[in-house]
Structure 1
Amino acid sequence: MAAPALPRLEAECSQCFGLCCVALPFARSADFPVDKAGGDPCRNLLADHRCGIHDRLLEGGWRGCVTFDCFGAGQQVSQVTFGGISWREAPATAPTMYAVLPVMRQLHEMLAHLLEAADLEPDPATAAGLADLVDEVGAATAADPDTLLALDLVALRSRVGDLLRLVSATARERHRRRAGIRGQSRQARRIRAGADLVGADLQGLDLRAADLRGALLIAADLRGADLRWADLLGADLRDADLRGAVVDGALFVTRPQLAAART
């Protein structure tokens, strides 16, 4: 029997019940001008689930909304998991709906990374492992609320992460050979997975095929850096200066990461 169709991994807000504007909490900060508890509708949420200030979020101090991306989880929860019946129409379902949203978002993000990895020319055995995980995660996105809330996301993310790490290492080594990259500068050699590079001066560095997975690059100066084939999975790019940097071709970089940087 054919596997079910995979969900759309880009947000379609018109098909969502404004879930990110209700379910998720936020605190007054540089990203939000007010505090909001999870489950409380944002003061800007309209009756039709649209944002009343969508065209002026940045001017109003709602930077966190601009950088947030549900990877399509909002419409999946709204239209598939809960069959198109909103929390306004069925208030009793609201707590469960809010709890399911972050689970679905993680599944959608994992699925996006797995599909990207499948396009990186993995060997046959790795490709088969990726296909199996795509089927597993894809099937989970269509599950009922109780099944979704019972998922062991830690174990699933570990399995996905291990496979992505393997694909990344193989792809980066292949690109090093193809590009004739024999080594890195003394400064670039301190770049490694999980490195604390907050505010670091990385301007103009050749970071092709570097492992920056999980690196803290908050407010780092990456102007003019070459990040082709660099693994940016989970790297914190908040306020990183990417002006003039070559980011096209970087591995596992997401829309929220780039939206949080200066470009």
Structure 2
Amino acid sequence: MSEQPDPSDSSLRQGAHGPGPSGLDLRADCANCFGLCCVALTFSVSADFPVDKDAGEPCRHLRTDFRCGVHSTLRERGFQGCTVYDCFGAGQKVSQLTFGGRDWRQAPETAERMFAALPVMRQLQELLWYLDEALALEPARTLHDALRRALDETERLTRSDPETLLALDVAARRAAVNTLLLRTSELVRAQVRGKRKNRRGADLFGAKLKGADLRGADLRGAYLIAADLRGADLRLADLIGADLRDADLRGADLTGSIFLVQTQVNAAKGDAATRLPPSLTRPAHW
């Protein structure tokens, strides 16, 4: 393995985000959000939620100050989905920027549009996260100008008024950005010599991948639900959109993996030996 590049080397990755090279803050700030994820989203009885809740209906645990009344015991109460969710900073942006700090309780006429704006903003913020990360990857330096333009345009869209935001063709924006992210992925993963595994979109539900060499693998959109990835080497692997629910990452090395986000990590199982990219936080339940 010594002949392979070290993904944590500054020659490959120049920074981390949130705020990162772009100066954007892409992490949730619940203190400046009007509890939007606790109201706007739908809950369905499942392994993730113990109750049903319609979109637009406040969670019964949402307090008057927009904080969660059972935040410290969410998983014990069956609200695992709440501990996995990450808005990438969309909640506070919709609350404080799009709607100018007017909350839906004091201004109920804003509620419907505010709740509808959250999933749109979240997608844009997620794209900013990926673009921000791509700008920190030295092997993709030839794309940095194009990535910067895409980031600036996406950031401009997040500052739109409610009507413009709700009319936005998010799928088209995602498609345009994805073209750049694909090219970024190819340049980064090319740092791994030899044949790299291509498991894009593969059904790897429960796959036995303990100790697997997945350096530089294309795992975009792969279904890795409950997969055994203990001790696997995922350095420089592209994990964008991979479903890692209940995947066992104990002892796995993800330090140089690209386009991995906090929601994926939160949904997986890990331990103190799991190595994560510096931009991500080790979940408290690991």
| TM-score normalised by L of structure 2 | 0.85
Counterpart Cα distance in 1 of 2:77 and 2:140: 49
Counterpart Cα distance in 2 of 1:38 and 1:7: 29
Q: Where do residues 6-17 of structure 1 align in structure 2 (5 Å cutoff)?
A: 7-17=24-34
Name the residue aligned to 1:88: 105
Counterpart Cα distance in 2 of 1:216 and 1:226: 18
The question of 1:161 aligning with 2:178 is answered yes
Q: CA RMSD in A?
A: 1.3
Name the residue aligned to 1:138: 155
Structure 1 residue 107: deviation in Å?
Answer: 0.4
Structure 1 residue 6: deviation in Å?
Answer: 6.2
The question of 1:243 aligning with 2:250 is answered yes
Counterpart Cα distance in 2 of 1:52 and 1:208: 42
Name the residue aligned to 2:216: 209
Structure 1 residue 182: deviation in Å?
Answer: 2.4
% identical aligned pairs: 57
Name the residue aligned to 1:54: 71
Name the residue aligned to 1:225: 232
1:261 to 249, 268, 271: 268
Counterpart Cα distance in 2 of 1:25 and 1:124: 40
Counterpart Cα distance in 2 of 1:125 and 1:258: 30
Render the CA deviation track for 1:178-211: whole Å, top value 9, x for unaligned: xxx3246xxxx5x511110000000001101100
Structure 1 residue 247: deviation in Å?
Answer: 1.1
Name the residue aligned to 1:21: 38
The question of 1:38 aligning with 2:60 is answered no
AA aligned opposite 1:215: A
Counterpart Cα distance in 2 of 1:231 and 1:8: 23
| TM-score normalised by L of structure 1 | 0.92
Counterpart Cα distance in 2 of 1:123 and 1:202: 29
Gaps spanning 5+ residues in structure 2: where? 1-21, 271-286
Identify, as 1 or 2, the structure richer in helix.
1
Counterpart Cα distance in 2 of 1:124 and 1:221: 34
Render the CA deviation track for 1:113-139: whole Å, top value 9, x for unaligned: 001011112556521110110110011
SS at match of 1:98: helix
Distance 1:125 1:170, change over 3 A: closer
